[in-house]
């Protein structure tokens, strides 16, 4: 955690240093006040010298005001430093997640990443602020008050030799026991957030199937798990305060007993006892504050570990060895003995020894049953995943020889799950090309058969889309995603079952527009409907991670059993 504090405080370290220095000045001035008060009682009040009382009283007020000034200044510097630190950590986390491959993303749930970016970073921010203020204030006050207390009475100062070790041992024992419980609690938070995210994302399905009572019950169970984990951790934490109070009041009683006898015996003045009691309060309050800090550090240690897991995640797809000047020359694609495994294990292959050559500008259809690895095959082209074995080439070069930026700029992918973002339709389409003109946007929308329905909206291309595009239909969302992909003017475009929610007539128009406007672009269409791919130059039939057949519609009808069965079943459905 300390390494994270140091690394991500960059740009705000001066504020952190100033916060620590000003809090030290505040403490030293605060510790000096009881010493002045001693003289007020011993000299001014006992002798009736009002001049001393006024003089020392004014000095106490000035010292108190100066201490207050430094305290306020320290708080401001600490806030600036801690919020800046949190900003740096969140930025680093977000940047790291953006660099994740699909495999890296699979290692963390979305809900867990959200918790780490929010709750965990907030816990660390609070700890950072405590470290630069309270973790400085408490030890300085402890040392300074102890020195001043011993200066007032060395004999009674021995009381602390017993009290402080007792507090330190109890605090250490509680800290060690609580840490693993906080780790469990944060995992329960992840589960609860996952429940919330899933429910909100699929709220329409929940409503449609009248499953809200079931979802409420599921959420209550997740919330109950969080509560139980918190209670289990807090059961130990609540011991901190009683132990601290016990030690503090024991010291008070011992001081009053020893000090009272000393005053009666004439070896101590009343002002000295009052001053000593003040120092006891300062010393023990600083120790209690340290226990609070360590409790917070325990929670933050768990959070820091989770943040560190994301920051230290090894990116499995890197272009560090790629040639940044190398651009994709054409849309040719080659698979040479390609095998792939999501688990990275050779005995659990999703793709097996795939060999395939696709010429530039060729239109390829891909058909296959669920789980036949159609999507997996095309995701290797833009390196969303890397091959387990073999080579994938684009433009005659291994995809690993291109930077991810240059490779993915040449490949447009419309994934199965169509995602739109909050903002206008035009802003969403410009994801394909941020510099696209209005004419280019409309041309892409026309090719994707989206222009007509966009124009039917009162605000046209400036129509605001809800989060995820909730205010457009599934078919409209698919066509907007296709238009967005077309704006990239790619060498290769991949449509992964991207017209499944579009009627057959519109599907035919989209394919016709592709033939006219993308004659030089390699087009790969994954579809469930044979009608969507039957006019492709070639059709690939996938089965259990292998290519079962390649050919035109007519050829496959003669030579491929799977293709023929799918076609027959779909024709019966039409009939």
**Cβ proximity of 482 and 415 under 8 Å:** no
Please give the share of the chain, as a percent, with pLDDT higher than 90: 26
What pLDDT band is residue 44 in, cutting at 50, 70 and 90?
A: low
Residue with tokens 């007539």: 505
Per-residue pLDDT tens over the stretch 9-29? 888 999 999 999 999 999 889
**Cβ proximity of 190 and 109 under 8 Å:** yes
Per-residue pLDDT tens over the stretch 457-467? 888 999 988 76
What does residue 382 show for φ and ψ, rounded to 5 degrees? Answer: -90, 15
Q: How far apart are CA 223 and CA 9, in angstroms?
A: 34
The pLDDT of residue 299? 67
Q: What is the end-to-end Cα distance of the chain in Å, rounded? A: 67
| pLDDT tops 50 at residue 332 | yes
Contacts of 22 (CB under 8 A, 6+ apart): 70, 71, 73, 74, 77
| pLDDT tops 90 at residue 228 | no
**Cβ proximity of 24 and 140 under 8 Å:** yes
What pLDDT band is residue 156 in, cutting at 50, 70 and 90?
A: low
Highest-confidence range of 10-24, 214-228, 285-299, by mean pLDDT? 10-24
The pLDDT of residue 43? 67
Stretch among 11-25, 42-56, 310-324 having the lowest mean pLDDT: 42-56
182 versus 574: the higher-pLDDT residue is 182
Q: How far apart are CA 142 and CA 160, in angstroms?
A: 10
Stretch among 98-102, 262-266, 360-364, 436-440 having the lowest mean pLDDT: 262-266
Per-residue pLDDT tens over the stretch 515-537? 877 778 899 999 888 888 888 99
The stretch 404-419 carries a mean pLDDT of 85
Tell me the H-state helices in 424-560: 425-429, 438-447, 451-456, 474-486, 504-517, 553-559
Q: How far apart are CA 503 and CA 368, in angstroms?
A: 20
249 versus 305: the higher-pLDDT residue is 305
The stretch 200-227 carries a mean pLDDT of 79
| pLDDT tops 80 at residue 318 | yes
The pLDDT of residue 509? 84
The pLDDT of residue 19? 93
| pLDDT tops 80 at residue 169 | no
| pLDDT tops 70 at residue 76 | yes
What pLDDT band is residue 267 in, cutting at 50, 70 and 90?
A: low
364 versus 260: the higher-pLDDT residue is 364
Residues in the chain: 575
Look at residues 436, 440, 431, 503 and name the one whose alpha carbon lies nearest to residue 474: 503
Highest-confidence range of 49-53, 298-302, 420-424, by mean pLDDT? 420-424
Three-state SS sequence of 158-216:
HHHHHHHHHHHHHHHHHHHHHHHHHHHHHHHHHHHHHHHHHHHHCHHHHHHCCCHHHHH
**Cβ proximity of 348 and 341 under 8 Å:** yes
Please give the share of the chain, as a percent, with pLDDT higher than 70: 90
DSSP 49-97: -HHHHHHHHHHHHHHHHHHHHHHHHHHHHHHHHHHHHHHHHHHHHHHHH
The stretch 225-243 carries a mean pLDDT of 78
The pLDDT of residue 246? 78
Look at residues 157, 451, 130, 146 and name the one whose alpha carbon lies nearest to residue 301: 130
| pLDDT tops 70 at residue 265 | no
The stretch 383-390 carries a mean pLDDT of 91
375 versus 146: the higher-pLDDT residue is 375
Q: How far apart are CA 9 and CA 128, in angstroms?
A: 9
**Cβ proximity of 563 and 569 under 8 Å:** no
Stretch among 74-83, 174-183, 257-266, 551-560 having the lowest mean pLDDT: 257-266
The pLDDT of residue 575? 46
| pLDDT tops 70 at residue 573 | no
Q: How far apart are CA 70 and CA 24, in angstroms?
A: 9
Residue with tokens 């433009």: 395
The stretch 315-338 carries a mean pLDDT of 90
| pLDDT tops 90 at residue 355 | yes
138, two tokens:
């408490």
Q: How far apart are CA 204 and CA 469, in angstroms?
A: 13
Stretch among 408-412, 417-421, 549-553 having the lowest mean pLDDT: 417-421
**Cβ proximity of 478 and 487 under 8 Å:** no
**Cβ proximity of 332 and 360 under 8 Å:** yes
Mean pLDDT of the chain: 83
| pLDDT tops 70 at residue 201 | no
Q: How far apart are CA 52 and CA 19, in angstroms?
A: 35
């Amino acid at each position: 955690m300390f390494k994270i504090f140091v690394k991500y405080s960059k740009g705000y370290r001066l504020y952190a240093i100033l916060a620590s220095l000003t809090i030290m000045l505040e403490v030293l001035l605060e510790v000096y006040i009881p010493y002045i008060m001693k003289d007020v009682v011993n000299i001014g009040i006992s002798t009736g010298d009002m001049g001393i009382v006024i003089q020392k009283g004014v000095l106490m007020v000035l010292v108190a005001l100066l201490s207050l000034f430094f305290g306020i200044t320290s708080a401001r510097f600490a806030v600036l430093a801690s919020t800046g630190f949190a900003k740096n950590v969140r930025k680093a986390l977000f940047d790291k997640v953006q660099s994740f491959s699909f495999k890296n993303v699979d290692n963390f749930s979305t809900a867990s990443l959200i918790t780490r970016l929010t709750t965990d970073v907030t816990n660390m921010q609070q700890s950072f602020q405590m470290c630069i203020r309270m973790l400085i204030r408490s030890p300085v006050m402890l040392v300074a008050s102890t020195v001043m207390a011993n200066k007032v009475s060395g004999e009674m100062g021995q009381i602390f030799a017993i009290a402080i070790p007792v507090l330190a041992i109890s605090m250490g024992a509680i800290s060690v026991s609580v840490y693993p419980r906080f780790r469990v609690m944060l995992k329960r938070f992840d589960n609860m957030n996952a429940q919330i995210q899933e429910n909100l994302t699929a709220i329409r399905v929940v409503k449609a199937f009248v499953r809200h009572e079931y979802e409420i019950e599921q959420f209550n169970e997740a919330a109950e798990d969080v509560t139980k984990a918190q209670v289990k951790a807090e059961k130990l934490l609540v011991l901190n305060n009683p132990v601290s109070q016990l030690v503090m009041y024991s010291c008070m009683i011992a001081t009053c007993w020893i000090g009272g006898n000393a005053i009666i015996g004439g070896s101590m003045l009343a002002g000295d006892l009052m001053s000593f009691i003040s120092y006891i309060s300062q010393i023990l309050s600083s120790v209690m504050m340290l226990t609070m800090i360590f409790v917070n550090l325990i929670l933050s240690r768990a959070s820091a570990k989770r943040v560190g897991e994301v920051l230290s995640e090894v990116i499995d797809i890197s272009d560090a060895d790629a040639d940044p000047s190398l651009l994709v020359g054409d849309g040719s694609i080659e698979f040479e003995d390609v095998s792939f495994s999501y688990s990275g294990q050779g005995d659990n292959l999703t793709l097996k020894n795939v060999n395939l050559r696709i010429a530039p500008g060729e239109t390829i259809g891909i058909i296959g049953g669920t789980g036949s690895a159609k999507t997996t095959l095309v995701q290797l082209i833009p390196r969303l995943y890397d091959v387990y074995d073999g080579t994938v080439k684009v433009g005659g070069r291994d995809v690993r020889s291109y930077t991810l930026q240059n490779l993915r700029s040449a490949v447009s992918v419309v994934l199965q799950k169509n995602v739109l973002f909050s903002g206008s339709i035009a802003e969403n389409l410009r994801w394909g090309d941020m510099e696209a003109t209005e004419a280019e946007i409309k041309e892409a929308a026309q090719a994707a058969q989206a222009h007509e329905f966009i124009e039917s909206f009162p605000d046209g291309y400036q129509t605001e889309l809800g989060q995820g595009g909730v205010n457009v239909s599934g078919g409209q969302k698919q066509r907007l995603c296709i238009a967005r992909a077309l704006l990239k003017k790619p060498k290769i475009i991949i449509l992964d079952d991207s017209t499944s929610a579009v009627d057959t007539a519109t599907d035919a128009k989209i394919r016709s527009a592709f033939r006219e406007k993308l004659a030089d672009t390699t087009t790969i269409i994954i579809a469930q409907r044979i009608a969507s791919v039957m006019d492709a130059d070639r059709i690939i039939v996938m089965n259990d991670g292998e290519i079962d057949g390649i050919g035109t519609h007519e050829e496959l009808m003669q030579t491929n059993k799977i293709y023929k069965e799918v076609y027959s079943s779909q024709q019966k459905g039409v009939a």
